[in-house]
Amino acid sequence: MSDEMVFGREMGPVEYFILAFDGNQFNGDVLPSLLELTDSGTLRVIDLAIVSKDVDGNVTIVEMSSVQEAMAEAVEKLGGEFTGLLSEEDLLMAAEELPNNSTAAALLVEHLWATRFAHAVRDSNGWLALSSRIPADVIESAQRSLLAATEGL
């Protein structure tokens, strides 16, 4: 079996990211938007964990397999494998970057929307040489700068 096959099917690109939130009152309000992405077949959640850091810098890690009852139904709908691929070491490293009194959701997701394209690239002996996320505020700032520059012409 090739390393791009998972459970007998092609695998799309996999991404690890951390979403940070001020305060330690993470309430799961982002879960409906994440559910939209999984329900539409855009993403598949492979693993997910919540990392919190209190005002004194003490770290708490909650794996989604043991999430509180209030979010359990939404987490179940995500349909993720929650395989434990995010290790305690990964999550502790993420916690080091968090400011005190904050919470983060660490996610490992498969980009299902790109599966066919990724397969075509691999079949053409291609690979991803560089990938970079550009935050929306950076793009908006660049657009404003370009607009301001063209208005002066």
Q: Which structure tokens are listed for 2?
A: 């090739």
CA–CA separation, 90 vs 106, rounded Å? 9
Tell me how far apart the alpha carbons of residues 64 and 72 are, in angstroms, rounded to a whole number: 8
Question: Which tokens belong to 64?
Answer: 């989604």
**DSSP code at position 39:** H
Please give the model's pTM, rounded to 2 decimal places. Answer: 0.74
Length of the chain: 153
* Cα-based torsion angle of the residue sequence 133, 136, 139, 145 in order, rounded to the nearest 10 degrees: -150
Taking only the tens place, the pLDDT of each residue in 92-118 is: 999 999 999 999 989 999 999 999 999
Q: Which tens digits make up the pLDDT trace of 17-47? A: 999 998 877 677 888 898 899 999 999 888 8
For 62, other C-beta atoms within 10 Å of its C-beta total 17
